[in-house]
Structure 1
Amino acid sequence: MICQFQRTIKKPVIIEGIGLHTGKKVKVKLYPAKKNEGINFIRKNTIIPAKIEYTHSFDYSTSLMKNEVAIRTVEHLMAAFYFTAIDNIYIEIDEEELPILDGSSKDFVDAIKSAGIQTLNEEKFYAILESPVFINQGDKYIEGKPSSITKFTYQADYNNDIIGKKSFTYIPNDKESYKGLFSARTYCFLEEVEYLKSLGLAKGGSLKNAIVFHNNTVLNQEGLRFEDEPVRHKVLDLVGDLYLLGYPIIGEIYSFKGGHRLNAEFVKALLYTDSISIKPASEIRDIIKESSLLKVG
């Protein structure tokens, strides 16, 4: 299915869980939105658009803030909106941090699908990458290149036998690369846990919502869902963070060792260097046919 028109959900849906870093119970309610309203969080009577200009911090997650009201760990839900091609929706949340659920986007995707998808009478807009973009932080970098085929690639470089130097490429219209991406879980190393807790983070973390490595061993009894699950999750994070651009991208994105902060800086570079053009579906019909952008599973 090629998305020519904007989408929202048909009815409200509630999602409950605990925050990965706060450890607090949280209730999230997704509401349908009208055309061109975009993706917006609501907390403490404050509407916070899911846009890059509202990003606030990147300490092991991506957070938004407006008028001193924060929303933490938005990337997994943003990825779910990308995977289900949602353009317009309201997210009401009663605590600071979104629930971690199983550590992936799967439960968010399932909730969106259970609410039903509503096609709106308005064209969908796309961000067309018109010229190359390169941004780095030390040896970490993200590169974007114009292309009619949309690709998101992450290259890892860990001194670890399980993750190592694996890479994963997600092509939105390719069933094989899409399959299993949204169910890839977040991860950490056991030696990081005490450090994270010393920072007041990971209070809600457990083997139920994260993969935990110790040396070259997976501590989760069930093991990995996929041999390259950690790298797949990095692609999930990349997709979620880049959707803070406000539009799905048409182009090739390659990330080497990137994280949330670098993802955000890349989105800012796209906006502030005039490297993209925003066009409605009708003006890029040939490109969309070739790339089959946003194949919804």
Structure 2
Amino acid sequence: MFQVPKSEFETIMLENVRRDRRIRAIAFPQLTVVRPVVIDGVGLHSGAPIHMVLRPAEADYGVVFRRTDLVAQGREVSDIRATYDNVVNTMLSTEIGNAAGTTVSTVEHLMSALSALGIDNLLVEIDGAEVPVLDGSSEIFIDKIEAVGLEKLDAPRKAIRILKPVVVEDGAKRAALLPGEGFRLSFEIEFDNPVIGRQSIEADLHDPFFAEDILRARTFCLRRDIEAMWEAGLAKGGSLDNAVVVDNDHVMNEEGLRYDDEFVRHKVLDAVGDLALSGMPLIGRYEGSRAGHAMNNRVLRALMADPTAYEIVDFAEARHAPLMQREIAIPAD
């Protein structure tokens, strides 16, 4: 059996001790996963089977999607950084892409889970062009990641503190990013449907019940819109197993709704995922009214286009760290 020379072993051990001490000195270190997380499912819109692996990444790596199917074909440019300026399409989901035309769609549910868990760095290997829909919420992503655990990295977390209001509007649609502590979201929707109607909610990303109250809310649609989505080449993988379907005055899913206001809760889930494309957690408030993926991306672009509207801070400078305050499997110091 190969053995590391004693002097080399001692050097490695000493460096590990020093690294652990540096991490303990950081109030809010960056996080990644302890080991790979395997996720299999189908794409909501493509209907294609998808194999995805979330791999640990080093500090300041960010979240990067790698199309392994294109790597296998010898394509050199297969990586896509998960950032707001790489969003290329917002029709019924958020799609990111790179200059070579490589894309990955429906990233918002995974990004919402990563944001809630405080994961800064991750390599997402995926063998297709769409993130698996799973049950239509972020719950399974959360469960699978927590089962593996999170690792602290030797670098402080950075955050974007919102300094002044940034608002975008499009008719009755509105999205705003406002100054505040921690990260709170409020959302309202209004549908011409008796089951959905008008709903509103406020949520706090730091609430210990955020995952239970928000991230279990499933994507939804009206039955009357399904045929149009099929004609547009969308929702090929949709089913009652991964979406709430409303038919006039009733919910078609046998188990019904997870919450009476599941629809607006899912809109908050989507907003958290879309805003996670800022590349860093946000400190402030978000307000959405009849907003969707397009409005979320527009308000984020507007914020980042104005250097006077935000500042980059260490979490040590923030009163509330945008990290879900609940039990997660981070190895003890």
Classify the TM-score, shorter chain. over 0.9
User: Gapped runs of 5+ residues in structure 2?
Assistant: 1-25, 72-77, 327-333
Is residue 2:243 matched to residue 1:210? yes
Which stretch has the larger CA shift, 140-149 or 225-234?
140-149
Counterpart of 1:131 (choices 161, 164, 169) is 164
Structure-2 separation of matches of 1:60 and 1:3: 38
The CA distance in 1 between the partners of 2:271 and 2:277, in whole Å, is 10
- The alignment-based identity, stated in percent, is 36
Q: What is the rounded CA distance, in whole Å, between the counterparts of 2:53 and 2:206 in structure 1? A: 29
1:177, CA displacement in angstroms? 4.7
CA distance in 2, matches of 1:163, 1:270: 31
- 2:48 aligns with one of 18, 21, 24: 24
Alignment of structure 1 residues 43-192 onto 2, 5 Å:
43=67, 44-45=70-71, 46-66=78-98, 67-192=100-225
Partners of 1:133 and 1:68 lie apart in 2 by 30
Match in the other structure for 2:330: none
Partner residue of 2:230? 197
Q: Which amino acid is the alignment partner of residue 74 of structure 1?
A: V
2:210–2:324 Cα contact (<8 Å) kept: no
Which residue of structure 2 lines up, in the alignment, with residue 276 of structure 1? 310
The amino acid that maps onto 1:278 is I
Amino acid corresponding to residue 121 of structure 1 in structure 2 = D
Whether 1:228 aligns to 2:261 is yes
Distance in 2, matches of 1:47 and 1:82, equals: 20
CA distance in 2, matches of 1:82, 1:138: 29
Name 1:261's counterpart in structure 2.
294
Equivalent in the alignment of 1:42: 66
In the TM superposition, residue 223 of structure 1 has moved relative to its aligned partner by: 0.1
2:213 aligns to what SS in structure 1?
coil
Matched letter for residue 32 of structure 1? P
Task: Please name the residue that 1:295 is paired with.
Answer: 324
Larger radius of gyration: 2
Q: Report the alpha carbon displacement of residue 176 of structure 1 after superposing the two structures with TM.
A: 4.5
Deviations 1:123-180 (A, max 9, x none): 0011100001110111100122211242111111112222221111110222345432
What amino acid sits opposite 1:199 in the alignment?
A
User: Aligned partner of 2:48: which letter?
Assistant: K
Question: 1:3–1:293: 8 Å Cα contact kept in structure 2?
Answer: no
- Under a length normalisation based on structure 1, what TM-score does the superposition of the two structures give? 0.95
8 Å Cα contact 1:85-1:296 kept in structure 2: no
For this pair of structures, how many residues does the alignment match? 291
Secondary structure of the residue aligned to 2:125 is strand
Give the conservation status (yes or no) of the 8 Å contact 2:195–2:248: no
CA contact (8 A) 1:156 1:166 kept: yes
Q: Distance in 2 between matches of 1:127 and 1:203?
A: 37
Contact 1:6 1:123 in 2 (8 A): yes
For residues 175-217 of structure 1, what are the alpha-carbon distances to aligned partners after superposition, in whole Å with 9 as ceiling and x for unaligned?
A: 3454321111000000000000000000000000000001121
User: 1:3, 1:85 within 8 Å by CA — same for their partners in 2?
Assistant: no
Q: Is the 8 A contact 2:27 2:316 kept in 1?
A: no
What code does the residue aligned with 1:99 have? P
Q: What code does the residue aligned with 1:47 have? A: D
Residues 177 and 166 (structure 1), Cα distance of their counterparts in 2 relative to 1, 3 Å cut: farther
Following superposition, which runs of at least 4 residues in structure 1 exceed 6 angstroms of deviation?
none
Q: TM-score, normalised by structure 2?
A: 0.85
Q: Deviations over 1:192-245 (max 9, x none)?
A: 000000000000000000000011210000000011111100000000000000
* Deviation string, structure 1 residues 97-133 (Cα, Å, up to 9, x no partner): 1110000001111111122100111100111000011
Gap regions ≥5 residues in structure 1: none
What SS does the corresponding residue of 1:179 show, helix, strand or coil? Answer: helix
